[in-house]
């Protein structure tokens, strides 16, 4: 009986909430898509925008890119020792501090605090079942890494 009342209350609250979600311009955003020439021909799978000027991207063969001028110019490089890895996600805190994760084996998480001059492996696994997909952070100390389930 109590469970039925709880379910009914949740349903009523959901209906009230949805009825307040009007299709207004109040929460709409203009989408401006621009094409940028990076000068590379690898698949890029991760993108992290720090600001309108600073962005990081990462992809196949351990490659990462960074722009500090809104995409007019891109610095392209690869993480030393990661030339066979496929980066799936990137999280940039600012122009210097960035986290990269690779999918497949070995699964690795890299961090730089100096704009890519030096990279540190913060996690590594040779488990053939692990497959990291995405990362997100609340701040520089707390975040989450997500991957495919196994076992």
Residue 68: burial class (beta carbons within 10 Å; 0-12, 13-18, 19+): middle
- Average pLDDT over the chain, rounded to an integer: 84
- The whole-number pLDDT of residue 39 equals 75
* Predicted pLDDT at 95: 93
C-alpha closest to that of 46 among 96, 109, 88, 104: 88
- What mean pLDDT is predicted for residues 31-47? 77
What pLDDT band is residue 44 in, cutting at 50, 70 and 90? confident
Instruction: Give the pLDDT of residue 71.
Output: 85
Closest Cα to residue 63, out of 86, 39, 97?
Answer: 86
pLDDT in tens, 63-117: 999 999 988 888 999 999 999 999 999 999 999 999 999 998 999 999 999 999 9
**Rounded to whole angstroms, how far apart are CA atoms 82 and 90?**
14
pLDDT over 90 at 11, yes or no: no
Q: What integer is the mean pLDDT of 20-34? A: 61
- C-alpha distances in Å from residue 82, one per residue of 6, 85, 86: 52, 5, 8
């Amino acid at each position: 009986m109590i469970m039925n009342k709880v379910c009914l209350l949740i349903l009523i609250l959901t209906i009230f909430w949805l009825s307040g979600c009007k299709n207004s311009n109040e929460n709409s955003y203009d989408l401006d898509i621009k094409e940028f020439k990076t000068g590379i021909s690898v698949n890029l799978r991760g993108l992290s925008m720090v600001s309108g000027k600073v962005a990081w991207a990462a992809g196949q063969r351990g490659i990462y890119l960074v722009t500090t001028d809104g995409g007019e110019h891109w610095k392209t490089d690869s993480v030393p020792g990661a030339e066979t890895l496929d980066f799936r996600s990137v999280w940039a805190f600012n122009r210097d501090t960035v986290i990269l994760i690779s999918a497949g084996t070995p699964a690795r998480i890299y961090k730089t605090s100096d704009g890519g001059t030096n990279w540190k492996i913060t996690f590594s696994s040779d488990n053939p079942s692990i497959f990291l997909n995405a990362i997100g952070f609340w701040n520089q100390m707390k975040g989450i890494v997500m991957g495919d389930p196994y076992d």
